[in-house]
Amino acid sequence: MPDKPHYRTVIEPFIIKSVQPIRLTTREQRERVLREARYNLFRVRSQDVLIDLLTDSGTGAMSSEQWAALMRGDEAYAGSQSFQRFEAVVKKHFGFRHVIPTHQGRAAERILFSVVCKPGDVVPNNTHFDTTRANIEFQQAVAEDLVIEEGKDPTSRHPFKGNLDTEKLKALIQRVGAEKIPLCMLTITNNSGGGQPVSMANIREVKAVLEPHGIPLYFDAARFAENAYFIKLREPEFRDWSVPDIVRKMMSYADGCTVSAKKDGLVNIGGFLCTNDDLLAQQEKDLLILTEGFPTYGGLAGRDLDALAVGLEEVMEEDYLKYRLAETRYLGDHLTEIGYPIVQPPGGHAIYIDAKSLLPHIPPSHYPGQSLSIEFYLEGGIRTVEIGSVMFGKPSPDGTGEIPAAMELVRLALPRRTHTQSHIDYVLEVARVVYENRERLRGVRITRQPPFLRHFTAEFELM
C-alpha cells in the first residue's frame, strides 16, 4: 500500500467545534422579507438568510489556534507584544521594512493615497477594487484599470486573467509621464475581474517596466495566498515551491502593499499597510495616529493582531488552499453544468454569474443581476450580490437615463472555512430551479436611491 493514497474527494481539512444555527424560512416569509427590504438584499437581516454568499470579507471561521491566540492579546497602548508577534509574521513572509496595522483594508488605502497622491496624478492597477478607486479619486487623482483583454471576457479561460497589460502600462507612462504616477498597483487576486490570479511572470514584467522610471510597485494583497496557490498550480516554474516561498518571491518584487486582512488574514476585522520607504512610513504613521490609533495597534485590539498573526500562517497551508480552491471550483463547475454562464475559469473566492447572458429578455436598464439575486433569495434563502448596473451604472450626461455597467454579474462569494459540501449542494439544487424558471424572471425598477454608493440602500419594485 502506498502511504499517500490519492483519493479524489477533497475534504474540508478541519472539524467543526463551534456552530451557529441557520434557519430555513418559508417562501411566504421570504416574500414578506423581500417586500419589507424593498428588494435590496443589503437590507435583509442575517437571521432571515439561510446561506449567506454576500461576501468572503470578514465572514470566515477562525481556528481553535486563533481563538486561543485571542487570549494572549496584550492590550498595552504602546509597544504591545501582540503587535510584535504580528509584525514578525508579516516581516517573515512579506519581507517589508515597515508594517502598519489598520482597522481594515480601506483604511490602509486611505492612508497610502493621502500620502502619495496629488491632484491630477494617475494610479494604474489591473482592476481597482471600488474602495481603492474611491480613495484615489478622493485625492482628485485618476484610477486607471489596465487588465489584459482576456480579463474582460467572461468566456476566456486564460490561466492568469488578472494580469496587467504591460503594453498599456508603457503607453500610459508615455502619455502622462512617470512623475504623475506615484505608484502602480496589482490586485492579487483581481476581485473585480472575477477573483482571477496574476502570474509571477506578469509581476516580473510589470516591475521591469516600472523600475527604469522609478515608479514603485504595490500589491493590493487581500487574497495573496489564493494568488500564490494559483501560481503553484498554473505556472510550471513554481510547481515544486512551497506557498510561503511563492509569497515571499511575489513580495520581493514589490515596494509595499495594502491588505484587507478580512480575506486571507482569516480574521473578522483587520488590515495593514507595508512599505520599504522610511520617509513614507513616517508620514503614514503620523496620519495613522490622527485617525486610526498608535502605530502598534492601528485601530485594532491587541487580541485582533494575535489572531491575525496566526491566520496569516494558517492561510498558506496547502491542505487549506487545496480545499479552498476545490470548493469554489465545485460550485463553478456544477453551475456551468446546469447551464449558467459564469466568469471562467472559477476564481479563488467567488463565482460570478453573467446575468446579461442568462436573462437576455431583461435589458440592463431593468437590472438583470438584481432580478437574479432576488430570485436566489426567494427560491432558497440564498444571499448573493449584484455587481452590475445597480452598483456601477452612471447617470447619462443628458440626464435622461443611465449608462449601464460593462457587465451584469451576480457574485456568489464563499466565506472561508464556513460551509460544508452539503451547503454547496443545496445552493446548486436551488440554482437548478432558478435556472429552469429563468424565462419567468422580471426586471426591477429603482424607486429611491441615495446620491452615491446607491446599491447599499436603494429601494426597488418588481416590474
Please identify every residue annotated as catalytic: 77, 129-130, 220, 222, 263, 455
Residues 6+ apart with CB under 8 A from 277: 98, 216, 255, 256
Among 260, 344, 370, 373, binds ligand F0G (CB under 6 A): 260
Q: Position 137: which residue type?
A: E
Instruction: For residues 98 and 433, give the distance between their C-alpha atoms in angstroms, rounded to a whole number.
Output: 52
Contact 185, 256 (CB under 8 A): no
Residue 54 beta carbon to ligand F0G: minimum distance, rounded to whole angstroms: 7
Give residues 122-161 in contact with ligand F0G (rule: CB under 6 A). Answer: 129, 131-132
Residue 9 beta carbon to ligand F0G: minimum distance, rounded to whole angstroms: 29
Q: Is 57 in the site for ligand F0G (CB under 6 A)?
A: yes
Residue closest to ligand F0G, measured at CB: 105
Q: Is 191 in the site for ligand F0G (CB under 6 A)?
A: yes
Q: Is 386 in the site for ligand F0G (CB under 6 A)?
A: no
Stretch that binds ligand F0G, among 33-41, 104-112, 299-307, 393-401 (CB under 6 A): 104-112
Q: Is 373 in the site for ligand F0G (CB under 6 A)?
A: no
Q: Is 59 in the site for ligand F0G (CB under 6 A)?
A: no
Among 262, 303, 356, 455, binds ligand F0G (CB under 6 A): 262
Nearer to ligand F0G, 105 or 369 (CB): 105
Among 63, 80, 187, 344, binds ligand F0G (CB under 6 A): 187
Nearer to ligand F0G, 332 or 443 (CB): 332
Question: Which residues of 117-181 form beta strands (DSSP E)?
Answer: 122-125, 142-145
Instruction: For residues 387 and 389, give the distance between their C-alpha atoms in angstroms, rounded to a whole number.
Output: 7
Q: Is 418 in the site for ligand F0G (CB under 6 A)?
A: no
- Cβ-count burial of 75 within 10 angstroms (0-12 exposed, 13-18 middle, 19+ buried)? exposed
Nearer to ligand F0G, 259 or 434 (CB): 259
What does the DSSP 8-state code read for residue 61? Answer: P
- Give bridge partners of residue 123 from the DSSP assignment: 143
Instruction: For residues 105 and 274, give the distance between their C-alpha atoms in angstroms, rounded to a whole number.
Output: 12
Residues 6+ apart with CB under 8 A from 426: 51, 380
Instruction: For residues 341 and 154, give the distance between their C-alpha atoms in angstroms, rounded to a whole number.
Output: 8
Among 60, 73, 101, 105, binds ligand F0G (CB under 6 A): 105
Contact 276, 229 (CB under 8 A): no
Phi then psi dihedrals of residue 107, to 5 deg? -70, -40
Instruction: Determine the size of the site formed for ligand F0G (CB under 6 A).
Output: 15
Q: Which residues bind ligand F0G (CB under 6 A)?
A: 55, 57, 104-106, 129, 131-132, 187, 191, 220, 222, 260, 262, 271
